[in-house]
Amino acid sequence: MKKSGFNTGLFFALGIFLSSCDGFVPDPIDPRLPVYSESGKNQSGAMINNLPFKDHPRVTVFGSPSNGYILNQTDTTLILEFRLSDQNNLNDVKSLHFSIEKLTPGDWKDMEKDFGKKFSFENPSIKGKIITYSNDGEIETLAESGQITVKHIPGSKAMAGTFGFTAQNASGKKYEIRFGRYDYFFQRL
């Protein structure tokens, strides 16, 4: 029986269409970054040394994997990590990792109010770092100053906020992380 190339072509066309679906919603003021949202869009972005880095959902035939996560190991600890890539060079990947410890019930209440609760890196219980990748392995650089704001939106099962900090590693390389924002699905354990 002669095989029809039409169905194969249609399948590939559908595959290309699905793999090209881009869930990126730009910010109206700086379209290089994702819009600030509070609805569990599974996206984040920041200007890292004045270059736009972002993570946003890309729908593929294999699902829409997210490159970020937020979890609480207990009600006293919150871990956030976002793996961001340079929009002009997708091989340039940097991770931003935050850990917030010694959370109190009052902190959780504050995280649901207004724009959320601000955690400064001057507090020793709050840590932020930028992780860069090279052939030699991972290099972690701790935040020296700055903050991360966490807004918990139980209604939409989301955690959103903003961050910004400066960091400098042992070899003197400086990082300035500005206009950071994130919005990920979060279910409190």
Contacts of 32 (CB under 8 A, 6+ apart): 26, 45, 47, 52, 54, 87
SS3 87: coil
Residues from 6 through 25 that contact other proteins (CB under 8 A): 25
Joined together, the tokens standing for residue 4 give: 């029809």
Binding flag, residue 30, other proteins (CB under 8 A): yes
Binding flag, residue 37, other proteins (CB under 8 A): yes
Give the distance between the most distant pair of CA atoms in the chain: 73
- CB burial string 42-59: b at 16+ within 10 A, e below: bbbbbbbeeebbbbbbbe
- CB burial string 23-33: b at 16+ within 10 A, e below: ebeebeeeeeb
**Identified binder of other proteins from the candidate list 159, 181, 184, 186, rule CB under 8 A:** 181
- Smaller CB separation from other proteins, 127 or 178: 178
Site string for other proteins, 107-146 (x = CB under 8 A): --------x--x---------------------------x
Binding flag, residue 182, other proteins (CB under 8 A): no
How many residues contact other proteins, by CB under 8 A?
28
Binding flag, residue 161, other proteins (CB under 8 A): yes
Site string for other proteins, 44-63 (x = CB under 8 A): ---x----------------
d(CA 78, CA 98): 8
Binding flag, residue 31, other proteins (CB under 8 A): yes
Instruction: Point out which residues bind other proteins (CB under 8 A).
Output: 25-32, 35-37, 39, 47, 115, 118, 146-147, 149, 161-166, 178-181
